[in-house]
Chains A and B, each alone.
Chain A
Amino acid sequence: SQQGEEDPQALSIQEGENATMNCSYKTSINNLQWYRQNSGRGLVHLILIRSNEREKHSGRLRVTLDTSKKSSSLLITASRAADTASYFCATRNNQGGKLIFGQGTELSVKP
């Protein structure tokens, strides 16, 4: 079963706008990761945030983690048409390397 849920399921914005996606999970975690998937192909690792971190940046990406609320958000600033993809959060607990994925957010950025 999925670890949690992502919200929204789909998001459509104009180029230049910011996109925010949220992820909730159910159990305690070691880290939380965000991945991008284009057209049902392989996943691309975007960013990893550890359970003792609250915020992390990578280029136009900003990730926050609130372990008390078991939630995370991914912000993509100044979006581009090339950002159009599905975005998944995935959690890893302290027992091995298994990733548990959310259902994903489908982002569409219109030129």
Chain B
Amino acid sequence: DAGVTQSPTHLIKTRGQHVTLRCSPISGHKSVSWYQQVLGQGPQFIFQYYEKEERGRGNFPDRFSARQFPNYSSELNVNALLLGDSALYLCASSPGSEGVYGYTFGSGTRLTVV
């Protein structure tokens, strides 16, 4: 079984540009969450989607948006990139919305904004 897959693995963007990150959850998992991890810190919650509906939003500006598709894959979009958006972006999947057994994380997308 494939785990959680994220693409791309690395990305370099210029300030002001837009970026789209993609995540495919484990087959059968209906919940996808996004986290941002700045170097030296723990991951910070951005969004959770379950059955294509937003179930939670972290303390991030409106430049950050996401959606979930009918096949449960997800995209995270960030507009008007800032240097401070440079981070590892992690996607996590779980069967249900509550993650009662824990989450499976992908390997992440390393975003560098220059």
Contacts and interface: CB of A to CB of B under 8 A. Distances in A.
Nearest to A88: B42
Interface centre among B31, B45, B97, B107, by most A CB within 10 Å?
A: B45
A40 B48 contact: no
Nearest to A1: B59
A59 interface: no
Contact of B107 (A42, A48, A99): A42
B95 to A, nearest CB: 11
A97 B105 contact: no
Contacts of B107: 41-42
Contacts of B92: 43, 99
A111 interface: no
Contacts, number: 75
Contacts of A101: 35, 42-44
Interface stretch (B11-19, B50-58, B67-75): B50-58
B70 to A, nearest CB: 20
Nearest to B47: A98
A102 B98 CA distance: 19
Contacts of A88: 42-43
A26 interface: no
Interface of A: 1-2, 30-31, 33, 35, 40-45, 48, 88, 90, 92, 96-104
16 contacts: A40-B110, A42-B4, A43-B43, A43-B92, A45-B104, A48-B102, A90-B42, A92-B98, A96-B48, A97-B55, A99-B35, A99-B92, A101-B42, A101-B44, A102-B42, A103-B41
Interface of B: 4, 31, 33, 35, 37, 39, 41-45, 48, 50, 55-56, 58-59, 88, 90, 92, 94, 97-108, 110
